[in-house]
Structure 1
Amino acid sequence: MKTLLTFALLALIGLLHLNSAANQGPGSINESCCSNVTRLAVPKGRIQNVVRSHSKCPVPSIIVTTVCKKQICLVGSWNWAKKVLTEFEKSLDNKKSPSAPFNTLPC
């Protein structure tokens, strides 16, 4: 009986370890990588956040998060996307939230 209980506990621990290893936490490479990119110009008032994808991602992209919490992956080499990223980063200098013209429109 003890052998069966020990085996069951070991199997449970193994399954829990396998499950926890499969999920990656916030900020992981997979979370900040895009598989599909587009050239969709998002109005600046609808942009809440702009970040560059992780350098190890297979597709270089710029990730825009809208005020409605939708994430849009833009082509990383697209001049419009690079300009928006630069403007967004400048608007954050010495501030905690983006300044106008970003994040001004409702969802």
Structure 2
Amino acid sequence: MKTLLTFALLALIGLLHQNSAAPVGPGSINQSCCPNATSVRIPRGRIQNVVRSHSKCPVTAVIVTTVCERKMCLDGNSTRAKKLLTEFEKSTANKTSPSAPFNVSPCRNETKKVS
């Protein structure tokens, strides 16, 4: 009986150790980083999501996802990108999806290529 209990405790410790890994691994940091940033203007109605790039990324950026699932990196230090991020966060506060003027245009004439 002691052997079974010891084995069960060791198995539990092993599972807890496996699940306590850091929530952000090296692969996921690279996926939220931008190799470079642009200053292109994106109509608010075409914007589906706006997030800040990971703090450990070499380029400070704001990642914008359009309604066509295309991702674009805006210069995170620009006033326009900071304002866009703030407005988007206010629009999604207490909601699951952004409210107008965001995410109102249908996907058309834009390739679904993720860059």
Residue identity matched to 1:98: P
- The 2-side partners of 1:53 and 1:63 are apart by 6
Spell out structure 1 runs of 4+ moving beyond 2 A: none
1:18 corresponding residue in structure 2? none
Residue identity matched to 1:80: R
- Tell whether 2:31 aligns with 1:31: yes
1:77 corresponding residue in structure 2? 77
- The 2-side partners of 1:97 and 1:105 are apart by 14
Please report how far the alpha carbon of residue 36 of structure 1 lies from its aligned counterpart in structure 2 after TM superposition.
1.6
1:53 corresponding residue in structure 2? 53
1:90 corresponding residue in structure 2? 90
1:68 corresponding residue in structure 2? 68
Residue identity matched to 1:69: E
Gaps of 5+ in 1: 1-22
After TM superposition, the score normalised by the length of structure 1 is 0.75
Q: Give the superposed CA RMSD.
A: 1.1
1:103 corresponding residue in structure 2? 103
After TM superposition, the score normalised by the length of structure 2 is 0.69
Gaps of 5+ in 2: 1-25, 108-115
- The 2-side partners of 1:69 and 1:36 are apart by 19
- The 1-side partners of 2:33 and 2:56 are apart by 8
Residue identity matched to 2:47: I
Structure 1 residues 33-56: Cα deviation after superposition (integer angstroms, max 9, x where no partner): 000210011000000000000000
Aligned length: 82
